[in-house]
């Protein structure tokens, strides 16, 4: 049996947000090669902190 969990109740407990690597790549506009590197490094899912610390984006110059 499953039950609904109130997320706001757990925010102060130190739980971290878990992202799908492909969803994270789309949101932060990472290149396909970078997405593949993150998938090899972290797997299909990782915490937001892990993804932010390991992702690298090409600089956008004007």
pLDDT surpassing 80 at residue 35: yes
Of the candidates 53, 45, 38, 39, the residue with the CA atom closest to the CA atom of residue 18: 45
pLDDT surpassing 60 at residue 9: yes
**Is the pTM of the predicted complex or chain greater than 0.85?**
no
In the structure, what pLDDT confidence band is assigned to residue 12 with cuts at 50, 70 and 90? low
pLDDT of residue 10: 61
- Name beta bridge partners: 45: 20
pLDDT of residue 37: 95
């Amino acid at each position: 049996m499953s039950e609904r969990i109130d997320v706001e109740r757990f925010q102060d407990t130190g739980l971290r947000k878990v992202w799908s690597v492909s969803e994270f790549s789309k949101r932060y506009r990472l290149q396909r090669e970078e997405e593949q590197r993150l998938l090899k490094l972290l797997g299909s899912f990782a915490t937001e902190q892990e993804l932010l610390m390991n992702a690298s984006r090409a600089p956008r110059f004007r």
